[in-house]
Amino acid sequence: MTTKSLHIATGRRKTSVARVRLVPGTGTILINRRSFEDYFPRETARRVAMRPFDVTETTGRYDVHATLSGGGLTGQAGAFSLGVARALDKADESLRPALAKHGLLTRDARMVERKKYGQPGARKRFQFSKR
For the cut 70, the answer to whether the pLDDT of residue 120 exceeds it is: yes
Nearest to 87 by CA among 39, 29, 27, 23: 23
* CATH, residue 36: 3.30.230.10
Asked if residue 71 lies in contact with residue 16, where contact means CB atoms within 8 angstroms, the answer is yes
Report the pLDDT value the prediction gives residue 3, as an integer from 0 to 100.
52
Task: Kindly state whether residue 85 falls inside one of the protein's structural domains.
Answer: yes
Asked if residue 61 lies in contact with residue 27, where contact means CB atoms within 8 angstroms, the answer is yes
Q: How many domains does the chain have?
A: 1
Query: For 4, phi and psi rounded to 5 degrees?
Result: -70, -35
Question: Which residues constitute the domain of residue 60?
Answer: 7-101
CA-CA distance, 128 to 131, in Å (whole number)? 9
Task: Kindly state whether residue 69 falls inside one of the protein's structural domains.
Answer: yes
pLDDT digits (tens, 9 = 90+) for 22-47: 999 999 999 999 999 999 999 999 99
pLDDT digits (tens, 9 = 90+) for 93-114: 999 999 999 999 999 999 999 9
Task: Kindly state whether residue 116 falls inside one of the protein's structural domains.
Answer: no
pLDDT digits (tens, 9 = 90+) for 59-90: 999 999 999 999 999 999 999 999 999 999 99
